[in-house]
Amino acid sequence: MQETPTITAAEIARLAGVGRAAVSNWRKRHGDFPEPVGGSATSPEFDLAQVEQWLRGQGKLPEVSRADRLWRHLTAGRENPATALAAVGEHLLARRRGERSSRADDQLAGLLPEVDALADELGPQGAFDELWQRFSAPGPGRPFATPDDLADLMVGLAGVGGGTVLDPAAGTGATLRAAVRAGGTAAYGQELDEDLARLAGLWLVLRAVPGEVRPGDSLRTDAFPGHTVDAVVCHPPFGITNWGLDELGYDPRWEYGVPPRTEPELAWVQHALAHLRPGGHAVLLMPPTAAGRRGARRIRAELLRRGALRAVVALPAGAAAPHGVPLHLWVLRRPRPTRPHPRGRCSSTPPTATSPPSPHGSSRPGGPSPPCPTPTSRRPASPAPSPSSSCSTRRSTSPPRAANPPSGARRRESIWYAHGSGWPPSSGSCRR
């Protein structure tokens, strides 16, 4: 880490809370404005300490907290703030254990007094959390993190409370943090980015949460082979066609079919199911195209036939990156080997994060699922069934199209919920 942090003109503008043009005017009108110490003519860099001193003398530097000041010094002129925050986390962990982390201390260089002062004020865990909040906030050069409210919803649907959880695409660890908030007893994760894996693992260790986060590619080199958990929550990467089909064509995880090269999301779905205990639930954030592409319709049909796909929740646009796409949540369950698949039932009541959909036949508290919708007038009436028959969904090789939401509810979440082997039917697709 550099001993003299530098800052660009755009960062000076954010530091002072003004526009980029104001910084250009200061350079022209004030002869005592700090001279560039690096960069280029079109993108100069300035000494951070000199800039702060000049802004403070001009009364243009608002009062900031110790955590804000430290974060600015950590990220000034750094391409990857995750590396700097990981070094702080390792130093705080060594400090709490009464040790010295030579690697982290060397990276922090002259910022150790500020880090120790923040730890004296808030404690090692509190200091790391303060810096973590600034790291996870949206900004240039920072990874897209799953929003906390969406992570809480996913964890609630998976029923993590009191159980173990795995996130095979942990990222910054948003879903693992949500699982800990919900009462998870142990948290495990894997992340391709080594710095992000270090960060997520440090957060768990500083909070004394059992588990670990390992670096690596979950599909190609599973860090937890044979390890099963009570719940899996995951925000996998979308559209990565080079996910390893050539090496993994005969992988035992593909119980429901080998995913095509263009269907990486179905590989993540089966990876999650492979790490579940029988009866455990998984919730994955998925692109809407994964529910209708023809290349994987046989896998989707098999997931439905065997009772593994339990629900699809359509989220409004903007719930998570990419913000222009209305993403889906897939709710899955690992079938119990000796339990017969229940018959299909229909439900239109969306579950909440605190009350996930019941996998045992009722989507409403204290009552059975509602009856299936009556057939439309354009569909010929079916003959009356025998008394022993019950409503069941029509099996299809592809999921039905989403019906238009009712008036006044277009911006709310909608849900299809299946208790049995078939996809929950739209109006006219249920036989009585």
Q: In the beta sheet, which residues pair with residue 166? A: 188, 232
Does any domain span residue 84? yes
99 is written with which tokens? 């040790």
Give the pLDDT score at 342: 53
Q: In the beta sheet, which residues pair with residue 282? A: 232, 332
Does any domain span residue 406? no
Nearest CA among 282, 289, 247, 288 for reference residue 268 = 282
Give the pLDDT score at 374: 40
Taking the CB of residue 194, how many other CB atoms lie within 10 A of it?
A: 14
Instruction: Identify the CATH number of the domain in which residue 30 sits.
Output: 1.10.1660.10
Residue-level pLDDT, tens digit, the chain, 432 residues:
445 677 788 878 877 878 888 999 999 999 899 999 888 888 888 888 888 889 888 888 777 678 888 887 787 656 678 888 888 998 899 888 888 766 665 667 678 888 989 999 999 999 999 998 888 876 555 567 888 999 999 999 999 989 999 999 999 899 999 999 999 999 999 999 998 999 999 999 999 999 999 999 999 999 999 999 999 999 999 989 899 999 998 999 999 999 999 999 999 999 999 999 999 999 999 999 999 888 889 999 999 999 999 999 999 988 888 878 899 999 999 998 865 555 444 343 444 444 444 444 444 344 444 444 443 444 444 444 444 433 333 344 444 444 444 444 333 333 344 433 333 333 333 333
Q: Give the predicted TM-score (pTM) of the model.
A: 0.67
Given 104, 123, 142, the domain boundary residue is 142
Given 63, 78, 111, the domain boundary residue is 63
Long-range contacts of 67-75 (CB under 8 A, 24+ apart): 67/118, 67/122, 67/127, 67/130, 67/131, 67/134, 68/134, 69/114, 70/111, 70/114, 70/115, 70/118, 70/131, 71/131, 71/134, 71/135, 72/15, 72/48, 73/5, 73/48, 73/111, 73/114, 74/111, 74/131
Same domain flag for 106 and 219 = no
Same domain flag for 340 and 221 = yes
Same domain flag for 165 and 79 = no
Given 142, 162, 197, the domain boundary residue is 142
Same domain flag for 119 and 158 = no
Sheet architecture: strand order including 44-47: 6-8, 44-47, 38-39
Does any domain span residue 407? no
CA distance 271 to 276: 9
Does any domain span residue 402? no
Same domain flag for 184 and 129 = no
Same domain flag for 237 and 212 = yes
Read off the DSSP letter of residue 361: S
Give the pLDDT score at 154: 96
Residue 116 burial class via C-beta count within 10 angstroms: exposed 0-12, middle 13-18, buried 19 and up: middle
Same domain flag for 102 and 236 = no
Same domain flag for 26 and 95 = no
Does any domain span residue 400? no
Does any domain span residue 80? yes
Range of the domain at 93: 70-142
Give the pLDDT score at 257: 94
Give the pLDDT score at 377: 40
Q: Is 379 left (phi over 0), alpha (psi -120 to 50) or beta?
A: beta
